Structure 1
Amino acid sequence: MTMTAQAGVGQNARPFIHGPEEAAVLEALRSGQYNHSGITDEFETRIARFLGVADTVAVASGTTALHIALLAAGVGPGHEVIVPSFTFCATVQAVLAVGARPRFIEVNPRTLCVESQEVLDALTSHTRAVLPVLYGGRAVDLTDAQPTLAERCISIVEDAAHAFGSHQGTRRVGATGALTCFSFGPIKNLTCGLGGMLVPRTPQEADICRRLRGLGIVESPARRAKTTTYTVDGFGLRAQMSSLNAAIGIAQLAHFPQAEAKRRALWRAYSAALQDVPGLALIDVDVDRSVPHLCAVRVLHDRDRVFHTLRERGIGVGTHYPPNHLQPAFAQWRRPLPVTEQVGREIMTLPFHQHLTDTDITRVADELRQALTQGTAR
């Protein structure tokens, strides 16, 4: 019998609104400026201050951020981008959008992130960029690969959709020197409703990103308003972040310390509750330095049965993600990736959002343990 989904545990992910967002959106609505506006500029400034970087560029989505970042890094037709197969398909679609080819590589099954040696082993004469995915919020340290990548003029473009607020060493993700892309989608660590952001490496790259997001127009919106013409000097997208989304982001950022603490506490609660559960491996997000975006486990036997059992019992489990090299759209770039394929058969994500309580975590852990035990008893 299918049980009615319980509040909290019935949803795999859910936005968390702190309260001031509603008033912020209303104020933005009343301003009459719904495209990129001074509110968007203010959001960029506040995020840059939070990260400790010189500049940020707000865009319409995390996928758009990746698209623009790859273009800004000079990636195009004939180039290869090294990317894990184990990521959301948006990462790969951004590579195709610039006319490049994905070169899929393995991840560490303990972290589900790429490592330097895998990157170095995958390099070819066509490699123009490496696109590490910061799965679950965990920073990816490619220090050992950086000398070779720099020597060959290969850019690191970080997909940090999961990792806003996380640290690599003493610095926030985004402040480590890579061209970093964040998502501020509905269920991310910080939400704008919908949106994304790039952290450029240089002022020149920031200018390129701003032109790419604004239809190739050289002048800023504020400057255009004071002149009778404008200049288009190249390709561009309509990819600005609306002031309405930026207003939500500003309100969210003011409460980010609470979000950071809550998400770490939830992950630690799961870690404690799932200790010594047989047939289960918790994916390590390096919680002391990360702001976890999700809580993922590998179900070592009979994942599909466990998944459906939990769904029937009102537990909102998910699968993040099916491997991309096995997808029909990316079949021409398929190569053997046995670790990724095994992880794809085992991965399951547990309910993870700021509405959850300790009681909710206990219930999910108990239901998961029971589902695993039922399978063993058969």
Structure 2
Amino acid sequence: MAEAMRIGQWGHNTATEAFEDELATFLDVPDVVAVSSCTAALHIGLLLAGVGPGNEVIVPSQTFCATVQAILMTGAQPRFIDINANTLAVDSAAVQAAITPNTGAVIPVLYGGRAIDLTEIKSELDRRGIAVVEDAAHAFGSRLGDKRVGATGMLTCFSFGPIKNLTCGEGGALIPRNPAEADTARALRLLGVTQSQATRIRTTSYHVDSAGWRYHLSAVHAAIGRVQLAGFASIETTRQRLWRAYARELADLERVALIDLDIEHTVPFNCVVRVLADRDKVFETLRNRGIGVGVHYPPNHTQPAFRQWHRPLPVTETTARQIVSLPFHPAMTEHDITHVVSELRTALTDSRSNSIPSSRR
């Protein structure tokens, strides 16, 4: 951090470029373009894929609203698809069934950190000119087979927000597919300016060759990310250990189903369960007892801003009434997890007793 501050230019500078190089080494990819958020990465990634007005982008409704907003920023429209109840993720069959002549891209959301394998339809997507733009906001560090997410040949978008597996405070990154995309992405992230910061400060002018946005990652945020990346091995093992602790504690709990993250290949972002009881009552009880549970996420096809693209999505609509995110953070201990599950057990009991009609109490 001190080095980044001493350089004097606290926006994009050599600290940002060093972070990009270190990310590329970690992921085993040729290039990384650091940006201000995963939303920015998705926006640029869709533009690199040629997505624009008249296109549809296949996307699960079960995602943070930023995924959908990035689609709308290109002038395209979302085509929402359903998910698997056990993983809260899409599969090849659902994607294939949603393809239309207007499909410009697919955004598989790597929910909870689990990688998604679309290899069985990759040849068809390629034949139709349909790009895959991965929303890997949850999935930094996870693997598909023996490769890290980001190194599997797709346009991959990461989030480095404050609660993500690797954080810069705020930030994100795009993994381009080739050098030309990397060059275009770097211009788009800095208002269409093609010269680097080092070049601009040595000349009397600069060139704006295209439209662009102020999407660069500052040196201060990059410095935080570099420290995080240096210690990521510990972050990875801690997150996997805590998720496994939850799995053990939840194993004998009736009316609770833990979302399958394929933990052997996943650096988990969260710990989500489906409550097969009165979810809202359980949620309220846990909150009242000081347990910081959440719901991630309300389905986008039911949001007021996106209702014009509503389609019946029965699995998404059912799981949306069931899911609860349990507290999950590397600073937690296994004792904390035992306590959370104990409180969940109590909340489930309260939910069952409160569901009995008054005439039978």
- Normalising by structure 1, we get a TM-score of 0.93
Query: Aligned residue for 1:111?
Result: 87
2:72 corresponds in structure 1 to 96
What's 2:8 paired with? 32
Deviations 1:306-355 (A, max 9, x none): 00000000100000000000000001000000100001101100000011
User: Which of 198, 201, 205 is equivalent to 2:174?
Assistant: 198
Q: What residue in structure 2 maps to residue 166 of structure 1?
A: 142
Question: Take 1:312 and 1:90, find their aligned partners in 2: how far apart are those partners?
Answer: 29
Name which of 174, 182, 189 aligns with 2:158.
182
- Establish whether residue 358 from structure 1 lines up as the match of residue 334 from structure 2: yes
Q: Indicate the percent of aligned positions where both proteins have the same amino acid.
A: 60
Amino acid aligned to 2:4 = A
- Segments of structure 1 that go 5 or more residues without pairing to the other structure are 1-23
Q: What is the SS of the residue equivalent to 2:119?
A: coil
1:205-244 equivalence runs, <5 A: 205-244=181-220
1:74 maps to what in 2? 50
Which amino acid in the other structure matches residue 268 of structure 1? R
- Measured in 2, the distance between the counterparts of 1:369 and 1:178 equals 42
Q: Counterpart of 2:254?
A: 278
| Cα distance, 1:31 vs structure 2 | 2.3
Tell me what 2:358 maps to: none
Alignment of 1:1-378 (within 5 A): 24=1, 26-378=2-354
Offset of residue 30 of structure 1: 2.9
How big is the shift at 1:299? 0.6
Matches of 1:30 and 1:171, distance apart in 2 = 36
1:342-371 CA-to-partner distances (Å, cap 9, x unmatched) read 011011000000110011000001110111
SS at match of 1:314: coil
Give the counterpart letter for 1:152 in structure 2: R
C-alpha separation between the residues in 1 aligned to 2:123 and 2:91?
14
Please give the per-residue CA displacement for 1:8-34, whole angstroms capped at 9, x wherever unaligned: xxxxxxxxxxxxxxxx2x332232111
SS of the equivalent of 1:223 reads helix
Unaligned runs of 5+ in 2: 355-361
- Summarize deviations over 1:81-106 as a string: whole Å, max 9, x none: 00000000000000001110000000
SS, match of residue 197 in structure 1:
strand
**Matched residue count:** 354
Q: Secondary structure at the match of 1:104?
A: strand
Once the 2 structures are TM-superposed, how far is the Cα of residue 376 of structure 1 from its aligned partner?
Answer: 2.0
The alpha-carbon deviation at position 374 of structure 1 amounts to: 1.9
Instruction: Provide the secondary structure at the position in 2 that maps to 1:181.
Output: strand
CA distance in 2, matches of 1:41, 1:212: 16
SS of corresponding position for 1:156: strand
Alpha-carbon shift at residue 47 of structure 1 (Å) = 0.2
Q: What residue identity is the alignment partner of 2:214?
A: R
Instruction: Give the Cα–Cα distance (whole angstroms) in 1 for the partners of residues 89 and 116 of structure 2.
Output: 7
Give the partner amino acid of 2:340. Answer: V
Q: Secondary structure at the match of 2:321?
A: helix
Look up the equivalent residue of 2:302 and give its one-letter code. Answer: L
Runs of 4+ in 1 over 3 A off after TM superposition: none
User: Residue 176 of structure 1 aligns to which amino acid in structure 2?
Assistant: T
- How far did 1:63 drift? 0.8
Q: Which residue of 1 aligns with 2:357?
A: none
Q: Distance in 2 between matches of 1:322 and 1:145?
A: 28
Q: Which residue of 2 aligns with 1:20?
A: none
Q: Relative contact order, CA 8 A, sep 6+: which one is greater?
A: 1
In structure 1, distance between residues paired with 2:3 and 2:126: 46
The alpha carbon displacement at 1:72 in A equals 1.2
Structure 1 distance, partners of 2:30, 2:345, is: 48
Counterpart CA distance in 1 for 2:353 and 2:191 is 61
Amino acid in structure 1 at the alignment position of 2:119: T
Give TM-score, length-normalised by structure 2. Answer: 0.97
